[in-house]
């Protein structure tokens, strides 16, 4: 009797959830890591201090706090980096803040003056007469709290402020200007006028404008009084690396998101390389099928000494080794081989070998050989001395054999 059986129904081998997870977990991890990197870069870039007197900089040298105060007073701030942009943005009824005026050329200074704008210069030192005829910069004490010492309304309202670093010597009476905050007898704040008649303010240090010192003394009042006199403020920060009118580098012209994306791509490439790279196991040792005889090492060192003409060093090594071996036969400790011990060794060897002690001493402690041939003779003589100085057992011939008949 036969029975009929049906084969079990075949099912397609679809990948399970575990298979899919194992296949895609690493790419997903890379994507998540890239997203986290993008978020972190965005946070860092938004919070980073962007530099000296940057109106968006939040670190100590930045000036974001001052920019916010000016904006609250209704001042329209226009930040620029290039000299051409500063000239185009400035007008006769505006104020131009130049954070690093020493980076400007004489031509750039002339074009700024020609705009007729009111200029506020932070710590100018090199071309002060170009801005303010009759004045020159001098070094004074480091910035500290200083009283106004003048009748300038802005200074009187501010009171003591943190100034110093640079002073401005000269006469401002021609322009009916004012000099305030004397440090070492020189004013650290000077208000004068250009030959065209526009006002120029010289400030000896940037400290009253920075986030670090804005709330010290009357720094905030002085900064607001100097920069808030017009409705529009051109905040000009010359590019330090290239000068004010030089074209910016290619990377500086790229939008921030392009640079951030480039960093993300670089990180992704590194992660992909680490992911796909061949895994390295632990180090495996294997015996080397090479045996180097001691004689080969000795000959190699000898060739080095010969090539370097180090006869003195080679002779010293030969004598030191011979003295140590001979001292062992004389029951002298190798670490006690001072001059007296060497004399004792010479006396012992002279007794054993019958050689003159003077010749043995010259052989062991004499001057270095004059040439290679003398070095070879020294080695042979030391070898002969060692052979002669080794005591033999009683009844043993020089050949090492017992002379008695067997």
What pLDDT, in 10s, does the model give residues 353-397? 888 888 888 888 888 888 888 888 888 888 888 888 666 444 444
Residues 72, 306: contact at Cβ < 8 Å? no
- Name the pLDDT band for 220 (thresholds 50, 70, 90): very high
Strands 76-80, 178-183: pairing kind: unpaired
Determine the average pLDDT of the residues in 294-317. 74
Write down the pLDDT at residue 20.
67
Write down the pLDDT at residue 252.
53
Report which of residues 359 and 181 the model is more confident about.
Answer: 181
Residues 226, 189: contact at Cβ < 8 Å? no
- Name the pLDDT band for 398 (thresholds 50, 70, 90): very low
Strand partners, 139: 166
Percent of the chain whose predicted confidence (pLDDT) is above 90 = 32
Q: Which of 35-44, 76-85, 169-178, 211-220 has the lowest mean pLDDT?
A: 35-44
Query: From CA 330, how far away is CA 337, in angstroms rounded?
Result: 12
Residue 147, burial from CB neighbour count under 10 angstroms (0-12, 13-18, 19+): middle
What mean pLDDT, rounded, does the chain reach? 79
H helix intervals, 277-371: 294-307, 311-329, 339-353, 357-365
User: In what helix (H) or strand (E) does residue 389 lie, and over which residues does it extend?
Assistant: helix 372-389
Residue range 385-397, pLDDT digits in tens: 888 866 644 444 4
Question: If you write DSSP's letter for every residue of 28-77 in order, what string do you get?
Answer: HHHHHHHHHHHHHHHHHHHHS--STT-TT--STT--HHHHHHHHHTT-EE
- Name the pLDDT band for 11 (thresholds 50, 70, 90): very low
pTM of the model: 0.51
Would you tell me how many other CB atoms lie within 10 Å of the CB of residue 359?
15
Q: Which of 14-28, 48-62, 177-191 has the lowest mean pLDDT?
A: 14-28
Query: From CA 131, how far away is CA 94, in angstroms rounded?
Result: 17
Strands 135-139, 186-193: pairing kind: unpaired
Percent of the chain whose predicted confidence (pLDDT) is above 70 = 75
- Name the pLDDT band for 279 (thresholds 50, 70, 90): low
Which residue shows structure tokens 């495996």? 284
Does residue 209 sit in helix, strand or coil?
helix
Query: In the numeric block, which tokens belong to residue 238?
Result: 């010359």
Residue range 17-35, pLDDT digits in tens: 676 677 777 777 777 777 7
What's the gap between Cα 302 and its chain centre? 44
Write down the pLDDT at residue 167.
93
- 12-to-23, 214, 250, 320, 331 alpha-carbon distances in Å: 19, 74, 57, 86, 91
H helix intervals, 73-190: 83-89, 106-114, 128-131, 153-158
Strands 232-236, 95-98: pairing kind: parallel
User: In what helix (H) or strand (E) does residue 25 lie, and over which residues does it extend?
Assistant: helix 17-47
Query: From CA 80, how far away is CA 154, in angstroms rounded?
Result: 26
Positive or negative, the CA dihedral 137, 138, 142, 145 is negative
Report which of residues 400 and 93 the model is more confident about.
Answer: 93
Report which of residues 269 and 39 the model is more confident about.
Answer: 269
**Spatial CA neighbour of 185 closest among 171, 201, 173, 168:** 168
pLDDT at 238 over 80: yes
Q: Where are the domains of the chain?
A: 64-242, 295-389
Report which of residues 233 and 9 the model is more confident about.
Answer: 233
Does residue 174 sit in helix, strand or coil?
helix
Q: Which of 128-132, 233-237, 266-270, 278-282 has the lowest mean pLDDT?
A: 278-282
pLDDT at 45 over 80: no
Query: From CA 373, how far away is CA 272, in angstroms rounded?
Result: 66
Would you tell me how many other CB atoms lie within 10 Å of the CB of residue 203?
27
């Amino acid at each position: 009797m036969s029975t009929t059986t049906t084969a079990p129904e075949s099912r397609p081998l679809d990948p399970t959830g575990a298979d899919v997870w194992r296949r895609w977990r690493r790419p997903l991890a890379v994507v998540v890591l890239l997203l986290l990197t993008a978020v972190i870069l965005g946070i860092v870039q938004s919070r980073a201090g962007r530099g000296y007197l940057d109106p968006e900089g939040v670190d100590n040298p930045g000036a974001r706090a001052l920019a916010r105060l000016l904006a609250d007073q209704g001042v329209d701030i226009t930040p620029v980096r290039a000299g051409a942009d500063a000239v185009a943005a400035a007008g006769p009824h505006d104020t131009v803040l130049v954070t690093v005026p020493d980076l400007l050329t004489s031509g750039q200074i002339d074009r700024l003056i020609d705009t007729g704008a009111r200029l506020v210069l932070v710590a100018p030192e090199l071309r002060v007469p170009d801005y303010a005829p009759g004045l020159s910069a001098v070094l004074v004490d480091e910035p500290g709290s200083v009283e106004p010492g003048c009748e300038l309304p802005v200074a009187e309202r501010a009171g003591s402020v943190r100034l110093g670093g640079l002073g401005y010597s000269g006469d401002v009476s021609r322009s009916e200007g004012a000099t305030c905050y004397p440090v070492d007898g020189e004013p650290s704040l000077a208000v004068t006028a250009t030959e065209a008649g526009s006002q120029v303010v010289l400030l000896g240090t940037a400290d009253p404008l920075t986030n670090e010192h804005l709330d010290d003394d009357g720094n905030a009042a002085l900064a607001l009084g100097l920069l808030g006199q017009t409705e529009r403020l051109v905040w000009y920060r010359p590019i330090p690396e290239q000068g004010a009118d030089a074209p910016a580098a290619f990377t500086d012209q790229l939008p921030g998101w392009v640079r951030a994306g480039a960093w993300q791509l670089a990180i992704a490439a590194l992660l992909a390389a680490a992911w796909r790279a061949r895994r390295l196991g632990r180090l495996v040792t294997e015996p080397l099928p090479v045996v180097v005889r001691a004689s080969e090492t000795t000959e190699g060192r000898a060739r080095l000494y010969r090539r370097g003409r180090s006869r003195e060093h080679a002779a010293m090594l030969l004598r030191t080794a011979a003295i140590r071996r001979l001292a062992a036969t004389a029951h002298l400790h190798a670490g006690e081989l001072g001059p007296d011990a060497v004399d004792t060794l010479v006396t012992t060897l002279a007794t054993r070998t019958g050689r003159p002690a003077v010749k043995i001493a010259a052989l062991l402690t004499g001057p270095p050989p004059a040439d290679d041939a003398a070095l070879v003779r020294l080695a042979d003589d030391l070898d002969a001395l060692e052979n002669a100085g080794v005591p033999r057992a009683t009844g043993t011939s020089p050949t090492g054999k017992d002379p008695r008949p067997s």
